[in-house]
Structure 1
Amino acid sequence: MTLFLIGLIGFLGVHLIHAFAPGLRAGMIAKLGAMPWKGLYALLSLIFFVLMILGYPDAQASTIYFGEPPQGMKHINSILIPIALVLAVAGSLPRGFIAKTFKHPQLVGVKIWALGHLLVNWDLTSFIFFGAFLAWAVMVRISIKKRPTTEPKAPSALWDGIAVIGGVAITGWMMMGGHAALFNVSPIPGL
């Protein structure tokens, strides 16, 4: 569990620098330059992500189970995840009407993804993992409200269409074996 927790805390900690230590971020950019800072940020993120992934099986092997979720929760999760993936893709694209409506669709997508997984994974490791991502997304969203705003670009429905196609494609890939290949768990029992 230790390696998993180091990876999780480090990964989310790096992703909280902009929210809670903007001075550190600005100082590093001034000292290193924007591109070297982005490289260091990406390298640290990757290192902690790998530690989290390598530590997850051990953490899951020694986890505490709180019970079996009701079958209906799995159906709710099956509805939430495609929505979360569409929002996550929309947050990575230029501004569309989805981004105009949700302001920060990627954060909304992370919240929905984490909540959906909390509904169906009733064990300590999952509560820590998905709960931490949910808390991270909430904290980042609150911090964004305190930042100065800029005039957003006009939205384009083209990017919404691409977000929907991308989110649905990722969902399909996950259901057809991608989730099992990546996480050793099928999102649809029996497949």
Structure 2
Amino acid sequence: MLLLSVGLVLFLGVHLLRVVPGVRDGLQARLGATPYKLTYTVISLVGFVLIIYGKIIAHPTPAVWDAPEWGRHLALFAVPLGIILLTSAYAPGHIRRWVRHPMLAGVVVWSGAHLLANSEASAVLLFGSFFAWSLITFIAACFRETPPPVVKGWGGDLTAIVLGLIAALIILNFHMYLFGVAVIG
């Protein structure tokens, strides 16, 4: 689980820079905008690859608790909601206005649902880390930023819901092939 842990520290650590006041701006000022973005991207990608590889080689790990059966069933409904929220971050609409930070809210829902459905140590580390990061970042962002502007119509929302459900169905059907774990099994 060492590679998984290192990957999480790199990926989530660089994504937490916004939460600490002045750190991101200070780094950008010292490095310059383009070198900062390049460094941020490289660290994120290395962390992401280590997370994936680390989770693959850490599996199976001992259970931390007995995951409730209802947690797996709840995840079947919560994860598509999380994916819809993620999608709505890119579609101006009412969802984005109401939730303010739908990508972070989507990660909270996605990781929380996976945390309830999985009890092995590597899954608890992975989804618990993403849950804590997204919740902290969501709260900080809500205090820091104003809501997006009001939009007319429901086209962006409908697009987010349809694309989110399509993505959720694809992931549901290919979960075993993509991540090596059956959705329910």
What percentage of residue pairs aligned between the two structures are identical?
34
Structure 1 SS opposite 2:67? coil
How far residue 132 of structure 1 moved from its aligned partner, in angstroms, is 0.8
How far residue 143 of structure 1 moved from its aligned partner, in angstroms, is 1.7
CA distance in 2, matches of 1:139, 1:122: 22
CA distance in 1, matches of 2:156, 2:92: 7
Corresponding residue for residue 18 of structure 1: 18
1:129-159 CA-partner distances (Å, limit 9, x unpaired): 1111111011112222342x34632325221
Corresponding residue for residue 52 of structure 1: 51
Equivalent residues in 2 for 1:107-126, closer than 5 Å? 107-126=104-123
How far residue 67 of structure 1 moved from its aligned partner, in angstroms, is 5.1
**Aligned counterpart for 1:168 among listed residues 158, 165, 168:** 165
- Retained in 1: the 8 A contact 2:88–2:96? yes
How far residue 115 of structure 1 moved from its aligned partner, in angstroms, is 1.2
Aligned in 2, Cα 1:70/1:151: closer, same or farther, shift over 3 Å? closer
How far residue 188 of structure 1 moved from its aligned partner, in angstroms, is 4.2
AA at the equivalent of 2:99: F
**Aligned counterpart for 2:86 among listed residues 72, 77, 88:** 88
CA distance in 2, matches of 1:69, 1:145: 31
CA distance in 1, matches of 2:86, 2:104: 7
AA at the equivalent of 1:32: L
Aligned in 2, Cα 1:122/1:151: closer, same or farther, shift over 3 Å? closer
- Retained in 2: the 8 A contact 1:69–1:121? yes
Structure 1 SS opposite 2:6? helix
CA distance in 1, matches of 2:70, 2:18: 38
Structure 2 SS opposite 1:140? helix
Which runs of 5 or more residues in structure 1 are unaligned?
none
AA at the equivalent of 1:30: A
Structure 2 SS opposite 1:19? coil
- Retained in 1: the 8 A contact 2:19–2:140? yes
Pairwise CA RMSD: 1.8
Corresponding residue for residue 8 of structure 1: 8
- Retained in 1: the 8 A contact 2:78–2:109? yes
Structure 1 SS opposite 2:24? helix
Structure 1 SS opposite 2:22? helix
- Confirm whether residue 153 of structure 1 aligns to residue 149 of structure 2: yes
- Confirm whether residue 41 of structure 1 aligns to residue 37 of structure 2: no
- Retained in 1: the 8 A contact 2:118–2:124? yes
- Confirm whether residue 187 of structure 1 aligns to residue 183 of structure 2: yes
How far residue 70 of structure 1 moved from its aligned partner, in angstroms, is 3.6
After the TM superposition, list the runs of 4 or more consecutive aligned residues in structure 1 that deviate by more than 4 angstroms: none
CA distance in 1, matches of 2:111, 2:7: 17
Corresponding residue for residue 78 of structure 1: 76
